[in-house]
Amino acid sequence: MVSRRKFLSFPCAAALTPTALLAETSSKNISEAQSGFTVLQATTGTVQLAPKEYPATNVWAFDGTVPGTPIRLKQGERVQRVFENKLKQPSAVHWHGIRIDNKMDGVPGLTQKVVPTGGRFVYDFVVPDAGTYWYHTHHRSWEQLARGMYGPLIVEEENPPQVDRDELLIIDDWRLDNKAQVVENFGMMHDKSHAGRTGSWATVNSMGMDRAALSVQQNERLRLRLINVANATVFNLVLEGMQGKVVALDGQPLAVPEALGMLTMAPAQRIDLIVDVVTEQGKTAMLNIMSRGQKIPLMRFAVEKQRRDKPLETSEALPANPLPVLNSTSLATAPVTELRLEGGAMGRMRSATYKGREMGIRELVDEGMVWAMNGVAGMTEQPLFTAKREQTQRLKMINETGWPHGMHLHGHHFREVLADGKLGPWRDTLLLQPRETREVALVADNPGDWLLHCHMMEHQMAGMKTWYRVLG
């Protein structure tokens, strides 16, 4: 998947697909008072992703930097930003994993109008949960995300756990040409119908694998917040020379922290770790990518000093967030909706409904569609399900395809209903392996129309998205 200093070169980058000109004439929702909010600007920039003998990479980015400006605040506070779009394409900002007011969810066509070039949109919302979240474009994301349109959103606990340092590790996977520029073959059919757009160069906080590093101290305690912002790459990561626990998934604390093993991260997933550097001074701890049995160094942690003579005592679980109650009683009577994931290369899909019409696979491909859910490619007229407020809803996802999918629900976190009837951890994105069936349950306490889609951006664009409704 990824090899050091080996850029795939694409001699003839496929022509750009024409910009979807969906922008409304104006989408200003700004008042005088709000004009004092901090600006978050979608613009262009350059960043040195590749080794220094290569040129800097041209990117599209929030405030011109990759990752975009970090947003950090306390639980219960408000994020208030005037989003300004200086790109030559329309855009919008989605606040991934935030149990947000529907109007602020940032999904053009569902929760707001797309923000045209030169347009502005005011985002103003409360963050109910502490944890590791992120924001990203939600328009032409197969292109805009691949160009760098993302940033971290960190919500601090009232009483954060005792650590020496709190570090963000934002992991991306870039498709660069031999001049270290983003290959502009966005949404190409092969990517859509296979694993999605995977790259040839991984970065942590925009530092390439050749130089991604952090100096640490022996027996230092770190909180590491990992975010997979890649378009489609599932990362399998192993941390060497550190010991500790997984304390949160997708922002939500684990009631009982889990042992640190292989960390599998679908696109959009987050993992919070609390670890102690058990490597000696003068040596190096490592974050490695595991790919096809090979270990590829991603990030180095040079141990420079000694923080204390032995690691701290084991840490506690993070304080729970104010999530709704989801238990076996409510589960027993909850309606079950099935969602069959269909299509893709080597799939058995022969036809699907698209834009209200049954089409054969050839015609679907001509329309750019290669995936369907419950026989429909792309958005449906009617929601997948409608839940009454506070109702528990079950969703059984049946992956009939030969590909993994990172399924994401907007607006709510969910818990997996495990085979033994127990409930898994709260998450907002679940990785389904090929041919796997997994069931989740949520308490529909957040009214509105919410998107539900595969976070492999090329799958989403090629049919894998739908929506559900929670009544007010």
Provide the binding-site residues for ligand C2O, judged by CB under 6 A: 94, 96, 136, 138, 268, 408, 410, 451, 453, 455
In angstroms, the CA 399 to CA 54 distance is 41
Site string for Cu ion, 420-459 (x = CB under 5 A): ----------------------------------x-x--x
In angstroms, the CA 150 to CA 106 distance is 13
Tokens coding 418: 């495990």
Q: 5: closest CA among 183, 219, 234, 210? A: 210
Identify what 171 binds: Cu ion, ligand C2O, none; CB under 5 to 8 Å per kind.
none
Nearer Cβ to Cu ion, position 197 or 225? Answer: 197
Q: Please report how close the Cβ of residue 339 comes to ligand C2O at its closest, in angstroms.
A: 16
Say if residues 191 and 371 touch (Cβ distance below 8 Å): no
Identify what 454 binds: Cu ion, ligand C2O, none; CB under 5 to 8 Å per kind.
Cu ion
- CA distances, 238 to each of 118, 344, 413, 427, 429 (Å): 43, 30, 26, 21, 20
In angstroms, the CA 365 to CA 351 distance is 10
Residue 204 phi/psi, 5-degree rounding, is -120, 120
Site string for Cu ion, 377-416 (x = CB under 5 A): ----------------------------x-----------
Identify what 459 binds: Cu ion, ligand C2O, none; CB under 5 to 8 Å per kind.
Cu ion
Identify what 140 binds: ligand C2O, Cu ion, none; CB under 5 to 8 Å per kind.
none
Nearer Cβ to ligand C2O, position 54 or 133? Answer: 133
Identify what 96 binds: ligand C2O, Cu ion, none; CB under 5 to 8 Å per kind.
ligand C2O
Q: Please report how close the Cβ of residue 383 comes to ligand C2O at its closest, in angstroms.
A: 16
Nearer Cβ to ligand C2O, position 136 or 221? Answer: 136
Report if residue 275 touches Cu ion, rule: CB under 5 A: no
Q: What angle do CA 433, 394, 398 make, to 5 degrees?
A: 30
Report if residue 136 touches Cu ion, rule: CB under 5 A: no
Tokens coding 365: 């491909």
Q: Please report how close the Cβ of residue 106 comes to ligand C2O at its closest, in angstroms.
A: 8
- CA distances, 339 to each of 5, 225, 277, 383, 398 (Å): 41, 31, 43, 12, 6
**Residue with smallest beta-carbon separation from ligand C2O:** 96
DSSP string, 70-96: PEEEETT-EEEEEEEE-SSS-B-EEEE
